[in-house]
A and B are shown apart, each in its own frame.
Chain A
Amino acid sequence: QKEVEQDPGPLSVPEGAIVSLNCTYSNSAFQYFMWYRQYSRKGPELLMYTYSSGNKEDGRFTAQVDKSSKYISLFIRDSQPSDSATYLCAMSGAGNTGKLIFGQGTTLQVKP
């Protein structure tokens, strides 16, 4: 079993839809949770960085962490075709190395 599970998709939604992206994890020591967006043939871009459980909002993006369920989510409101990309969850805090553990990434397509 992988430490971090993420459905690779692809996920296809119409423009304006609310998108929900999710990851589950098995290591209860993780405390820091990140979402990266990666456009094709580009480097990952940090979207959200959260600590422990709770919600964090930034514009159209909301990150949720539920440590009791070992489940994290990224919501995108009013999705746009420019949101079409691969979304990677990542987490850290287990051990002292600071190593990020990534999910497999979910490919999102927002259709006009």
Chain B
Amino acid sequence: DTEVTQTPKHLVMGMTNKKSLKCEQHMGHRAMYWYKQKAKKPPELMFVYSYEKLSINESVPSRFSPECPNSSLLNLHLHALQPEDSALYLCASSQAQSRTGGEQYFGPGTRLTVT
């Protein structure tokens, strides 16, 4: 089973709201990733967690706050977002974060609209 699940599927939030995106995998993978994807663009890496520790932060604004409560779960906490943050947010996982990048398996994404 190579399934990564994400909730919610859609989210509309105002600029003053606080919300969270959730991601879960049960493949025993120890690396988990958050990507942001705008229309007709490739995914852009935001964060990487390796063995539940933050390994890479691609200079993401602090209004995005990642959290990895355990090896199966990844959260992305959102606060005071801007309309330009509207995008598809993708979670991915791989066996490990290595120089190969590993075979990364993506979830279906959360489509976020900031009003």
Contacts and interface: CB of A to CB of B under 8 A. Distances in A.
Contact of B42 (A32, A42, A104): A104
Contact of A93 (B2, B43, B100): B100
Interface residues of A, number: 28
Contacts of B100: 31-32, 51, 92-93, 98
B101 interface: yes
Nearest to A49: B103
Contacts, number: 73
B43 A46 contact: no
19 contacts: A8-B40, A41-B111, A42-B108, A43-B6, A43-B90, A44-B43, A45-B106, A46-B103, A49-B103, A90-B42, A92-B99, A97-B48, A97-B99, A98-B99, A98-B102, A99-B48, A103-B42, A104-B41, A105-B42
Given A34-B104, A41-B111, A105-B40, 12 more contacts: A32-B100, A32-B101, A43-B108, A92-B99, A97-B48, A97-B56, A97-B99, A98-B94, A98-B100, A99-B48, A100-B104, A103-B42
Interface of A: 8, 31-32, 34, 36, 41-46, 49, 51, 88, 90-93, 95-100, 102-105
